[in-house]
Amino acid sequence: MTNEYPRPERLALHDLLTTARNRLTPQEAGLGLSGLRRVPGLRQSEVAELVGVSTRWYERFEQGAPNRRFSVEFVQRVAEVLRLNDRERATLFRLSVPEVRVAVEQVERSAQDRALYSLERIRALARRLTAVSSFEEAASAAAEAVGRILLPSCASVATFLPTAKSPRVIAFGKRAHLAGTAFADSCIAANYPSRYGHTTFNESRPAYRDTVDGSFAFRQQTNDGRSFLVSIDASPCTQNATGESTSPRALENDGVLSDAIVSAADYWEWNSKLESRSSLAHGLFVNGRYRGNLGVLWTEPHVVSRMELEVLQTASALVELAAGRSAQI
């Protein structure tokens, strides 16, 4: 592979290197003074000397000369001599090493394609929601769409508060068959800020064998940068008159997040079948009234991305709009 730069990249490489040379004094670079100087920083010949190559070779590098290959070791020495920061080093490698440039272009194209795919699926969901006749149908369509966008390593779920009309869980994707009523109770309890419009997430929870009798605690994050502690407690779980779990837990008061306690029996009914997992959840509302959560569950530790947050929040908002339009909900 030859180092055939498009002209804009040659100019960008030249600008990066000359800017770095001009801001570095000979004294800072470990060189002594050598009479009157016409340049504010280092000369090309001085950089070449410090890097250990000929002046002509360095000049060709700085010009982005075509049909010349520059080794990773050489580029690294240039970055060290010019004292580039992390961002500048990344840019230098992208501009000067063909393999790095190709890899970056592939990653950028992949990210762009993924974003376009997500938009396509969200548009399809919006069209589908124009014809739904119930809140449950809208939530199911949203869970299916979210699962398709974020596959293959997750399950997407809609969990509902107990009512005579609604199921407790609708799930799609990997391990979806494991989600039951107890799972719905623990999911709603552990993500209680969803009742107040927050998006909650956790990026790594332990396997059952790594706990003591199923008891442990994890820190749940919110999309606005706050967090709260969720304790998985071995104390028995009870239910209220509507069948909703009433394991001890503190709910938000006046916008202040507080810690929550979830029944270990409810939590491990689903999670004991997994090695570990990560989660992301957002509330589902009908005319401003909380009805449950739309969530994503990964069956291994997972770093939640901004794109995943946006997909879940957008799908939840579409469900609320569809619910508000339908007279049958």
Last residue of a domain, one of 69, 96, 123: 96
CA nearest neighbour of 150 among 318, 298, 314 = 298
CB of 171 closer than 8 Å to CB of 157: yes
Q: Are 260 and 190 in contact (CB under 8 A)?
A: yes
Euclidean distance between CA atoms 267 and 277, whole angstroms:
12
pLDDT tens digit sequence for 261-315: 888 888 888 777 777 789 999 999 998 899 999 999 888 888 888 889 999 999 9
Quickly count: other Cβ atoms within 10 Å of residue 100's Cβ.
16
Tell me whether residue 184 is in a domain.
yes
List the domain range (segments joined by +) for residue 269: 115-325
Quick one: pLDDT at residue 67? 63
Shared-domain flag, residues 57 and 120? no
Question: Same domain for 233 and 313?
Answer: yes
Cβ atoms of 22 and 39 closer than 8 Å:
yes
Q: Are residues 216 and 295 in the same domain?
A: yes
- In this predicted structure, what is the pLDDT of residue 327? 47
Instruction: Check which CATH number belongs to the domain holding 242 and give it.
Output: 3.30.450.40
Same domain, 187 and 273: yes
Residues 143 and 278 grouped into a single domain? yes
Asked if residue 273 is part of any domain, the answer here is yes
Does residue 318 sit in the same domain as residue 240?
Answer: yes
Q: What is the pLDDT along the chain (329 residues), one digit of tens a residue?
A: 344 455 677 888 889 999 998 888 888 877 766 556 666 788 889 899 999 999 999 998 988 765 667 888 899 999 999 999 988 988 888 888 877 777 777 767 766 767 788 888 899 999 999 988 889 999 999 999 998 888 766 789 999 998 767 788 888 886 777 677 888 888 888 898 999 889 999 998 888 888 888 899 999 999 988 999 999 887 655 444 444 554 445 455 555 678 888 888 888 887 777 777 899 999 999 988 999 999 998 888 888 888 899 999 999 999 999 887 654 44
Distance from C-alpha of 62 to C-alpha of 12, rounded to nearest angstrom: 10
Domain boundary among 67, 96, 125: 96
- Three-state secondary-structure class, residue 54: coil
Q: 261 lies in a domain?
A: yes
83 and 142 part of one domain = no
Q: Which of 208, 209, 204 has the alpha carbon at shortest distance from 219?
A: 204
pTM (2 d.p.): 0.65
What dihedral do alpha carbons 265, 252, 217, 292 form, nearest 10°? Answer: 50
- Structure confidence at residue 207 (pLDDT): 83
In a domain, 301, yes or no: yes
Do residues 242 and 320 share a domain? yes
Note whether 261 and 146 are same-domain residues.
yes
Query: Are residues 139 and 91 part of one domain?
Result: no
Query: CATH number, domain at 29?
Result: 1.10.260.40
Of the residues 54, 69, 96, the one at which a domain ends: 96
Give the strand order in the sheet containing 260-263.
Answer: 169-173, 154-160, 289-298, 277-286, 199-205, 216-222, 227-233, 260-263
Instruction: Verify that 52 and 166 share a domain, yes or no.
Output: no
Number of domains in the chain: 2
The pLDDT value given to residue 137:
92
- 312 domain-assigned: yes
Residue 125 pLDDT: 93
Longest dimension (CA), the chain: 91
Would 294 be classed as within a structural domain? yes
* 45 lies in some domain: yes
Q: What is the CA radius of gyration of the chain?
A: 28
Task: Answer yes or no: is 155 within a domain.
Answer: yes
Same domain, residue pair 246 and 277: yes
